[in-house]
Structure 1
Amino acid sequence: MHRLFAELEPSLTVTEQNLADRVRYLLRSNIFDVAELERLRREAVPSLDENATAEDAAAQIVEQPANVDAAVNTPVMVDSNDDGTVAQELELEHMRSTLEEAIAETRSTSLENRPRLPRIALSKRNLAVVRTLNPMLVTYLEASRDLWETNSILFGAALAVCRIIGAKLSTAGRATGQSSAIPAWRIRIEERIAKARALIDILICFRSGNNGPRIVRTVRMAFAGTNVSLSQPDIMQKLTDRIDHLKRRITASGKWIRRYTERSTRFNQNLLFHSDPKRLYKSLERPKVRGTGSAPNQADTVAFWRDLWSEPVNHSEGPWTEVVAGQCASITPMDPVIITPDDVAEAVRRAPNWQIPGLDGLHHYWSFGHHSFGS
């Protein structure tokens, strides 16, 4: 390989190890698929066309979008005298109906209730399915009226691909999966804290003179296994000691949770510092703020901003404004910034395929990855 590269590019000085590393990187990063690599190979070395093996020819046949038999493992009954056209049409119709159902389902489902999209293997069969669905999306995308509908179309198409190739989908929504991120040990400790607080409330009620049968039964259970009896003359002191003991346990458990949370945060920050320092510094400078209330509706939002901007207001400006205006007069205005689709594509071209940049749960692969719906 190194000798062939030296013949093709005599002006470049590359070692054998460096060339092997670059080839390994290209193959692992999936920058080019099998068909693209084959095309580049044939353009670089045309003489090798005659030595193409039967496996290369079979790979090209599998990569063609029209050959859906290689893309979908769905049994189809066809006539033995048929040339395969009927099978392809049936497979295309099955894929089209699956796509329509997935898009309609996504449009009527909120973000929280959408299923989790799994990572799919970048095999020839899966890529063929994506390429086959790409032309079917043209009509949907051209008729899209806003970004929400475009996102629903892309998510529905990704859902259709997962169903066609038989990928495993979670039935529960993404909101349910997020709650399982809390460690089991923390859940157990928080449950013990809640029980201790409830017991403290009952002991305080009994100490205040509430002798209801349910409260008395709970107090007896709290002193079970000890020599404490409710008829003892120093029962009030025993109750106070028991309450203080429970409060100390709650404080110790809270410190335990806080200590392990801080340790986990430090561990994750150290990992992020080695992998993506820029992202770590941003998270330290601007901590995440999560809203607790529901979002306002459109009518309230419009009414709020209309009251602020629709009424003209005369402001009394001081002399300092003239000084600032004079200092800014010599500044050249900045050229208008026009963001084109090519700029967006270039900015996200090297992003990881299976990263989820937003709350919609749509992997980057389905929007801007190679051979994806957005490419």
Structure 2
Amino acid sequence: MRIGQGCIDFLLSEPSVTVTEQNLADRVRYILRSNTFDVTELERLRREAVPSSGENTAAEDAAPQLAEQTANVDAAVNTPVVVDSNDDGTVAQEPELEQMRSTLEEAIVETRSTTLENRPRLPRLALSKRNRAVVRALNPMLVTYLEASRDLCDTDSILFGAALAVCRIIGAKLSTAGRATGQSSAIPAWRIRIEERIAKARALIGRLIRFRSGNTRPRIVRTVRMAFAETNVSLSQPDIMQKLTERIDNLKQRIAAWGKRIRRYTERSTRFNQNRLFQSDQKRLYKSLERPIVSGTGPAPNQADMVAFWRSLWSEPVNHNEGPWTEVVASQCASITPMDPVIITPDDVAEAVRRAPNWKSPGLDGLHHYWLKGFMSSRTTWCDTYEWCRRTDTARNTYSSHV
């Protein structure tokens, strides 16, 4: 849009409103960045903003003054969009398509070679037309990778790589560190601040005690002077030792008060969490009260021992001496119609994902529901994976019933 002509038209239509070229330029920048209008609407507005031969002389004289500002604004805010005017997710030019495919390939290879803990944290994207179009453009490219997927972990890596490629294409900010180091500390901020105060007070007490013991090093003397900077106490006073003792006792009392505050806040937080857990999951609360949850302790199990243990349970035939009650139960269950096998379809997967919140906190893989909704080509792969799990579980149950 031509800023100068638009400003003049607005002034002519609304003479009572004060507007400057900078205000109008800022508004244009906001409209283009927020994708308020699609490409077709923006093109129509540009055509309407072109001065015609019938316009007045004032508009023709004012338009050249803002030509340079118009060019700067257009260069700053006109981000290249990879979709056509219909916004159907198709790529406008073949070079852009090839660049997107190359970015996707690099992201998938990078994700496959990265552990879950070192994956970057995916940001929340704005639900704009441009972002949805980029997701739709990458969606058919995933078919080749998903068809060659080896297992569920590989499928998850492919989808995470595609999400990472989308973020890089649209220029979203990604955390450089992994999710394990990027997560916020489990210690609340208020406790960190109080512990820092306690540490500083203890360091000051140590230097005051050393000065009282006769240590007159320049660093120690400078610290003591800073400790009494807000008072009228001078180091040359005859009662300086008494002032030092009073100052040390005051700092110790502050440390004790801060420690009690930490204990009081911690107990309150524990009570709050336990009350909330009691309302949601009482069983989990009672288990946490019985014994502390300890994970990752002790040596890792030996793989050979695990294989031998489960093989002794599943591979060795066992003859059971069944009682007469089993025949009674079998005769009663003979008239029950078996349940039809559960077949999961892509529509079932789409319905399950549709009801899930877009940006709910993800699991260990770091993949939000937004990406499962956007990459629709993965639904068939999810169905095949679920079907394989169902067949495996059915075969295991059948085998155990015959053994």
Partner of residue 62, structure 1? 86
Whether the aligned pair in 1 keeps the contact of 2:208 and 2:248 (CA below 8 Å) is yes
* Cα distance, 1:284–1:150 mapped onto 2, change above 3 Å: same
Whether the aligned pair in 2 keeps the contact of 1:112 and 1:173 (CA below 8 Å) is yes
* Cα distance, 1:201–1:290 mapped onto 2, change above 3 Å: farther
Partner of residue 302, structure 1? 303
Q: Structure 1 residue 103 and structure 2 residue 108: aligned?
A: yes
1:179 is paired with a residue whose SS is coil
Q: Which has the larger radius of gyration?
A: 2
2:378 is paired with a residue whose SS is coil
Whether the aligned pair in 2 keeps the contact of 1:189 and 1:253 (CA below 8 Å) is yes
Partner of residue 56, structure 1? none
User: 1:111, 1:122 → 2: CA distance?
Assistant: 26
**Deviation, structure 1 residue 137:** 1.0
Partner of residue 374, structure 1? 378
Whether the aligned pair in 1 keeps the contact of 2:358 and 2:368 (CA below 8 Å) is yes
Code of the aligned partner of 2:132: L
* Cα distance, 1:124–1:235 mapped onto 2, change above 3 Å: closer
- TM-score normalised by L of structure 2: 0.50
Partner of residue 134, structure 2? 129
Matched residues, number: 276
Q: Which runs of 5+ in 2 are unaligned?
A: 1-82, 314-320, 380-403
Q: Deviations over 1:286-305 (max 9, x none)?
A: 65957476x976xx541553
Q: CA RMSD in A?
A: 5.3
**Deviation, structure 1 residue 242:** 6.7
User: 2:84, 2:101 → 1: CA distance?
Assistant: 23
**Deviation, structure 1 residue 307:** 7.5
Partner of residue 36, structure 1? none
Q: Deviations over 1:49-99 (max 9, x none)?
A: xxxxxxxxxx9963434x313xxxxxxxxxxxxxxxxx2x22221111110
User: 1:348, 1:200 → 2: CA distance?
Assistant: 59
Partner of residue 46, structure 2? none
Q: How does 1:171-320 map to 2 (within 5 A)?
A: 171-179=176-184, 184-198=189-203, 224=228, 246-260=251-265, 278=280, 284=285, 289=293, 291=295, 300-303=301-304, 305=306
Code of the aligned partner of 2:160: F
Whether the aligned pair in 2 keeps the contact of 1:356 and 1:364 (CA below 8 Å) is no
User: 2:207, 2:311 → 1: CA distance?
Assistant: 58
Percent identical pairs in the alignment equals 58
123-132 or 302-311: bigger deviation: 302-311
**Deviation, structure 1 residue 281:** 5.6
**Deviation, structure 1 residue 105:** 1.8
**Deviation, structure 1 residue 183:** 5.2
User: 1:269, 1:61 → 2: CA distance?
Assistant: 55
Whether the aligned pair in 2 keeps the contact of 1:127 and 1:371 (CA below 8 Å) is no
User: 1:339, 1:222 → 2: CA distance?
Assistant: 76
- Pick one of 108, 112, 128 that aligns with 2:117: 112
Whether the aligned pair in 1 keeps the contact of 2:122 and 2:164 (CA below 8 Å) is yes
1:374 is paired with a residue whose SS is helix
Q: Which runs of 5+ in 1 are unaligned?
A: 1-58, 70-86, 313-321
Q: Deviations over 1:319-340 (max 9, x none)?
A: xxx9xx8698566799899876
